[in-house]
Structure 1
Amino acid sequence: MLSHKLAKQSKPFSDGEFLTDCMVEAAIILCPENKAQFENVSLSRRTVTRRVEVIDEELSGELSKKAEDFTYFSIALDESTDIKDTAQLLIFIRGINDRFEIVEEFLAMESMRGTTRGSDLYDKVSGCLERLNLPWTKLLNVTTDGSPNLTGKNVGLLQRIQDRVREDSPNSDLIFLHYIIHQEALCKSVLELDHVAKTVVKLVNFIRARGLNHRQFIQLLEESETEHTDVLYHSNVCWLSLGKVFRRVWDLRGEIWTFLETVGKADEFADLQDPAWLCDFAFGVDVMSHLNDLNLKLQGKNMFVHELYSFMQAFKAKLTPFSQQMTNKCFTHFPTLDTMDVPLCQSNSYSITLTDLHSEFNRRFSDFAKIEHELDLVSSPFSFDREKAPVDVQLELIDIQCDPALKEKFTTSTLDHFYCSLKETQFPNMRRHAQRMLVLFGSTYVCEQTFSVMNYNKSRYRSRLTDKHLSSVLRISTSDMTPDFDDLAKRGDRLNCSH
């Protein structure tokens, strides 16, 4: 259990010895008569390593057992490099069985020391599925971050997977989705706020990157008793970084200008006194705030695709009144911009920008739009137009909509529990359709989150961590499954072998 906690919290295996010392010191004070028992607890680096390996095997075996019952499954893929420049392909699986039990777990981390072409990635993915004895015919969806080696038309990974599935089921069409949070972040490119971001980032770097400047700026904030204590660094890989940087710099713009005048650098940042630039800056603060709110809603594990898509659809619908109100110089939903005297030409320009953002959302989320009809059928069966439903579910849909008991159950239970309650003999097609939609991966958020765990574990202070042990740590730290510690403890000959 202690080895599991060390791995779960991404602690070095050698910390087990420190943990033993802490327990012994506590035992000396609390129960000195039991000190010897605590001293006999083996948590050496090698012991912790072996036990982490065994826990990894236990969790892998548990996942294999659950995978045997999958009716359908989906996978999420993302590829990045670790601190040793080794390409690591993370694979997550999301499966559903006839009881509508949904399992979303880390499947594998595949290390690639050579090329990372579509064929190389396909070999790794196919190998993982074969080890789990999962038939290709049950694969329903693949979600990626849209990189070329994954999505190439002819030789990319997705095309190879589609071809492999059609070998066993010629009429099967996989659902390919592009990571929804990544798409949302790419939509920001149409805002054309580069001239604002360039100045803001340059300003933050001037303050934060030089020790003397930073100390003087902090002193100024302390003297003025400002609520915010510092400006934030911007990172291109941090989802919400730019929006937070914009907000903090805007709130501190008065103090920043005073500081620039003090150090004689005001001329280099004359934009801070330009009314037109400040209006653009205020617009950027507000629109990035709206995007950040959307981004936070899209983050999380075990979310259904229709939930993610509804958040995105709601935001897209808001862009239309935003654009119209901007034309009329109504800034109700843009409180920062409302503090500025905005010329009509600029407000019209912002209106056009919001319209362009709306169009960009339509373009980038076309893959989700293809399955929107099916998602609505599953998420809102009682309001769905039965004439627009697929022929095979129309009669079942009529029975559902005319049953008041089912309507009551739909409002009081979760979606998966509702469809699980439908009788297989009476509603086989609706159950199958629900399984197909509920098992979809709408996001590779779990992959991105796991890469953060990977970079934390395999850092420059721990760069010799092997790929095998890194994979074990990632499985343990991200898994929702709990090992059977009683069963593991019975394998004493394996866990307590001599060093």
Structure 2
Amino acid sequence: MVTKRGKVVHTGGVSLPEGTIADIEDSYKYLGIPQANGNLEQATRKAATAKYLQRVRQVLRSQLNGKNKTRAINSYALPVIRYPAGIIRWPKEEIQTTDVKTRKLLTMHGGFHPKSSTLRLYASRKEGGRGLVSVEATIQDETSKMHEYIKLKAPTDSVLSECLRQWRAEDTVLEDRSSWEDKPLHWMSHRTITEVADINKSYQWLERAGLQDSTEALILAAQEQALSTRAIEAQIYHTRQDPRCRLCKEAPETIQHITAGCKMLAGKAYMERHNQVAGIIYRNMCAEYGLETPRSKWETPPKVVENERAKILWDFQIQTDRMVMANQPDIVVVDKEQRKAVTVVPVVIGALGAVTPKLEEWLQQIPGKTSDLLVQKSAVLGTAKILRRTLKLPGLCRETRHQREKSTAKVKRKYHSDYIQFRLFWNREEEDPKPHCVLGYETLANEAMKPAKLKRHLETKHKEYQGKPIGVFERKRDELKKHMMKETSQIPLSNDTVQRRMKAMAESVELQLVTRLRQSQFFSLELDESIDLGNEAHLLCFVRYIYAAGLHDEFLFCRSLPTNTTGEAIFHSLNDLIVKNNLDWSRCVGIAPTRAVAPSAAATHCCIHREQLALKKMPQCLKSVLDESVKIVNKIKAKPLNSRLFKAVCEEMGSEHTKLFHTEVRWLSGGKVLTRLFELRDEVMLFLHHSDELYDRMHDFHWLAKLAYLADIFSTLNTLNVALQGKTVTIFNVQDKIKATRLKMEFTVASFKQHLLDLHLQRGIYFPELDASFDWIRNPFGDKTHIEQFTSKLSPREVDSLTEFWFHIQPEHPQLAGSALKLLMPFPTTYNCEVGFSTLVGLKTKQLNWDSVEMDCWP
């Protein structure tokens, strides 16, 4: 017997037992009872998928590295899917959906880039993949194994033989995946590594380095050109026009350029990565010869270290008798036991971890037995750091909550006993350890607890103590008590110390600025003078110069003008600074007071002041509205009591704003004053007394219309005023913004003018003039004397009404009045019908939808 959705479809010759059985047509009542195996299979698939995704999340939230997370998913989460895979049927759509959810979870936790190769994610780590097993492959593998088992046992079991006969391969055999080689960008790096490097060595970091999953995903995404560089955005996504590098502004910003070709990164980022790789080889070589090695990998190795066996030079420039292109190798080893044996060690490795046969050969020849895996791991970590800094990547593609908490958490550095060599102890506080100088009794910040910073503190502040034995400082350390360090750290600095430090910082900043000005090809000046509350005149000067392929605006000086503020006094004050710092006037292309000193300079006036002056001229009708608006605002803001009362009125009326602007700031037009006054016009009208002369203005519709017009115009000009401000603004930017505003005004004027003309023409088309021969009806008397003689007999009301006039004279002039009434009778509009329909709408509602409303429409 076969049932479908609770209904018997086919009995198959089976007789139903006697008893109370529902009719076939009423079987829908029992649909809530699971009667088919499909319901049980669906529930099993749903439970297995939910449990699988739960375990995947649990693994991704752990602190395992990338390889162990993949192994944990394969061994801990996938068995939940594998167990029922060979027993129940699994639709292909559900399998693919589960794989998509898995990849989304990896992306959310920073372990997979959304544009990376999916096929590479499921490839083995020896082949350059991540080694993750997909749900699709798991189900297909388990189904195939079950099929093979049934084929093996079918000859001896009739039930399995029948199962094999009814096997439907189309439900279990899934489509083959496409090849990795079909993706040009994804396959490019793998093809290059195959051609020029050792494929097994180049991918060993995936299997043995133990990196985090976010770092693995970042490097693989870089190899596959999946990161959104500017070249990719311009050439593939077409979301950007300029593909040049954001740093050097020269070459296209590709992954190859960022990792190894940008000149702006060569001085620091590339050098830091290179030194980390070379430092591994250096420390192993020092250990081989018994030389003292740096305590930390972040510590810069000394230039020369030697003993009786060997001498090792680090980044040491070699003097030669002939010109060579590279006379400063990474590491030079002089073996004293073999006397003339000199080994020059160049460090060369791919930025993304490619290991060439040449590197492997060098590592085998040099002493120290350095593992190529350590060198490769250091290079990969350095490249990941460069990519994150350059492309502004917090993790990989999305910053998770765990990453945000980890990045915002402040790292507390611990004190090490070796720091006494830098003449520093600590405050003995575990929660917030801080270094304490045993010489100057100065407590530094926790961030200063780095060997490089501590060494700099010793060299800059206590030069005279360099070279003295550590025992002296250990005795000073023992003399310090915890409460003594706390008391000394709380001693405030004296006025002279603060002034001296401020002066030193100001001189340092000024020296840096002057150095940049001397190197700049051109520079321009911005001058302005103002008088403070003490009637002292001050001259402010800003300078714009060229530095690092860009324009920079910096503060140059602020000086007091002793006497007058004429152009001559301003020039002498400025010229003293230019001459004192050996600056060249000929390079000044901006503001220049005299043509003799800077003949190539162009004098310009502040465009914001010009724009303010342009606002002063307006018609008298608008000027009076503006003046009266200012009087209203000043009347309310003149006394604190009025301001408080007005605020109370606004709060009682539920207004959004409770204050009026009353001052016109230098860089702010009157737009905000008028806008706020117009928004609070009801509150202002209520606040003003009826006896006030300004009270009538708030009731005048024409005055309010002019106020609204001024508020809109001034707001638009205020937006322009703000757009003219800012740093690194050129004269062309200002000109373009002003020109755009003028064009908008011209367009607005033309639009209004055209609309009024069109309105005038349309009125003439739809409302033509009446025939002039009918004017006698409106004006039956051409002579005013006749009108006066005739209308003297009529009442004022009869004279005012044209219809009543003709009815009044109808007995005396019936034919003339009849002709006039024929033209006065027609309806000029459908006003009465419109009013009737409005009444009908009120009668015919959803609640009172009557069939006939004829009787109800009667008045």
What is the TM-score with the length of structure 2 in the denominator? Answer: 0.31
Q: Which has the higher helix share?
A: 1
Structure 1 match to 2:546: 96
**Counterpart check, 1:176 vs 2:584:** no
**Larger radius of gyration between Structure 1 and Structure 2:** 2
Match of 2:666 in 1: 238
Over residues 94-128 of structure 1, what are the superposed CA-to-partner deviations in whole Å (9 max), with x where a residue is unaligned? 1125x534332111122112122222111111112
Matched, 1:79 2:508: no
Q: Choose 78-87 or 268-277, whichever is displaced more.
A: 268-277
Aligned equivalents of 1:256 and 1:238: distance in 2?
Answer: 26
- How many residue pairs get aligned? The number is 277
Kindly provide the amino acid, as one letter, of the partner of residue 586 in structure 2. Answer: T
Counterpart CA distance in 1 for 2:505 and 2:646 is 50
- Partner of 1:271 in structure 2? 697
Contact 2:521-2:546 within 8 A present in 1 as well: yes
- Counterpart position of 1:224: 653
**d(CA) in 1 for partners of 2:727 and 2:503?**
25
1:130 shift after superposition:
1.0
Aligned match for 2:625, one of 191, 196, 205: 196
Distance 1:118 1:162 in 2: 13
The residue correspondences of 1:402-413 to structure 2 (distance < 5 A) are: none
Instruction: Choose from 191, 194, 210 the match for 2:639.
Output: 210
CA shift for structure 1 position 256: 0.7
Report the counterpart of residue 113 of structure 1 in structure 2.
562
Q: Counterparts of 1:115 and 1:200 in 2: how far apart (Å)?
A: 37
1:281 CA drift (Å): 1.0
* Equivalent residue number for residue 508 of structure 2: 58
Cα displacement (A) at 1:61: 0.7
Counterpart of 2:577 in structure 1: which amino acid? Answer: C
Deviations 1:203-240 (A, max 9, x none): 111112223322221111111111112212122x4322
For 2:586, what is the secondary structure of its paired residue?
helix
Contact 2:632–2:694 (Cα < 8 Å) also in 1: no
Does the residue aligned with 1:43 lie in a helix, a strand or coil? coil
Q: Distance in 1 between matches of 2:698 and 2:565?
A: 46
Cα shift readout 1:316-370 (whole Å, capped 9, x = no counterpart) = 211101222333568xxxxxxxxxxxxxxxxxxxxxxxxxxxxxxxxxxxxxxxx
CA distance in 2, matches of 1:328, 1:254: 35
Q: Cα offset for 1:241?
A: 4.9
Q: 1:299 aligns with which of 722, 725, 747?
A: 725
Maintained 8 Å contact 2:724/2:734 = yes
Q: CA deviation at 1:314?
A: 1.2
Match of 2:374 in 1: none
Q: Which amino acid aligns with 2:611?
A: E
Q: Do the aligned residues in 2 keep the contact of 1:67 with 1:132 (CA within 8 Å)? A: no
Tell me what 2:684 maps to: 256
Q: Is the 8 A contact 2:525 2:543 kept in 1?
A: yes
Indicate if the aligned counterparts of 1:234 and 1:241 stay in contact, CA closer than 8 A: no
The whole-number CA distance in structure 1 between the counterparts of 2:432 and 2:642 is 50
Q: Which residue of 2 aligns with 1:284?
A: 710
Structure 1 60/250 Cα, relative in aligned 2: closer, same or farther at 3 Å?
A: same
**Is the Cα contact below 8 Å between 1:207 and 1:214 reproduced in 2?**
yes
5 Å matches for 1:442-481?
none
SS of the residue corresponding to residue 658 of structure 2 reads coil
CA distance in 2, matches of 1:201, 1:120: 38
Change over 3 Å in CA distance of 1:329–1:267 after alignment to 2: farther
In 1, the alpha carbon distance for the partners of 2:595 and 2:691 equals: 58
Matched, 1:163 2:596: yes
Gaps in structure 1 of 5+ consecutive residues: 1-26, 143-156, 167-171, 331-499
Give, in angstroms, the shift of residue 189 of structure 1: 1.3
Indicate which of 139, 145, 158 corresponds to 2:588.
139
Q: What amino acid is the match of 2:709?
A: F
Residues 56 and 81 of structure 1: is their aligned pair in 2 closer, same or farther, counting only changes over 3 Å?
Answer: same
CA distance in 1, matches of 2:754, 2:663: 33
Distance of aligned partners of 1:101 and 1:71 in 2 relative to their CA distance in 1, 3 Å threshold: same
8 Å contact kept, 1:80–1:87: yes
Partner SS state of residue 589, structure 2: strand
| Alpha-carbon spacing, 1:284–1:271, altered in 2? closer, same or farther (3 Å) | same
Matched, 1:316 2:745: no
Distance in 1 separating the partners of 2:728 and 2:705: 40
In the alignment, is the contact (CA less than 8 A) between 2:536 and 2:560 conserved in 1? yes
Report the Cα distance in structure 2 between the residues aligned to 1:43 and 1:119, rounded to whole angstroms. 43
Structure 2 residue aligned with 1:354? none
Give the letter for the 2:668 counterpart. Answer: L
Q: Structure 1, residues 166-193: CA drift from partner, whole Å, max 9, x if none?
A: 4xxxxx4x22221122222221112344
Q: Could you report, residue by residue, the CA deviation over 1:430-476 in whole angstroms, capped at 9, with x for unpaired residues?
A: xxxxxxxxxxxxxxxxxxxxxxxxxxxxxxxxxxxxxxxxxxxxxxx
1:238–1:116 Cα change, 3 Å: closer
| Deviations 1:17-58, CA, capped at 9 Å, x for gaps | xxxxxxxxxx9x988966335314x43444322221111111
2:487 paired residue number = 36
Q: Using CA pairs under 8 Å that are at least 6 residues apart, name the structure with larger relative contact order, 1 or 2.
A: 1
Pick the aligned partner of 1:122 from 565, 571, 574: 571
In structure 2, relative to structure 1, the CA distance for the partners of 1:273 and 1:53 (3 Å cut) is: same
Structure 2 distance, partners of 1:55, 1:311, is: 39
**Residue 203 of structure 1 contacts residue 269 of structure 1 at CA under 8 Å; is this kept in 2?**
no
Q: CA 1:46 to 1:318, structure 2 compared with 1: closer, same or farther past 3 Å?
A: same
Relative distance call for 1:195 and 1:35 in structure 2 (3 A) is farther
Question: Which consecutive residues of structure 2, in runs of 5 or more, have no partner in the other structure?
Answer: 1-428, 434-481, 757-859
- Write the letter of the residue equivalent to 2:723: K
Query: In the alignment, residue 633 of structure 2 is paired with which amino acid?
Result: V
AA matched with 1:249: L
**Cα distance in 2 between the residues matched to 1:302 and 1:37:** 46
Give the Cα–Cα distance (whole angstroms) in 2 for the partners of residues 123 and 290 of structure 1: 40
Runs of at least 4 residues off by over 4 Å: 29-34
Instruction: Tell me the distance in 2 between the aligned counterparts of 1:200 and 1:70.
Output: 51
Q: 1:247-289 CA deviation, whole Å, 9 max, x = no partner?
A: 110000011101113xx44433422222332222111001011
Q: What is the alpha-carbon distance in structure 1 between the residues aligned to residue 499 and residue 695 of structure 2?
A: 54
Distance (Å, rounded) in 2 between the aligned partners of 1:277 and 1:267? 14
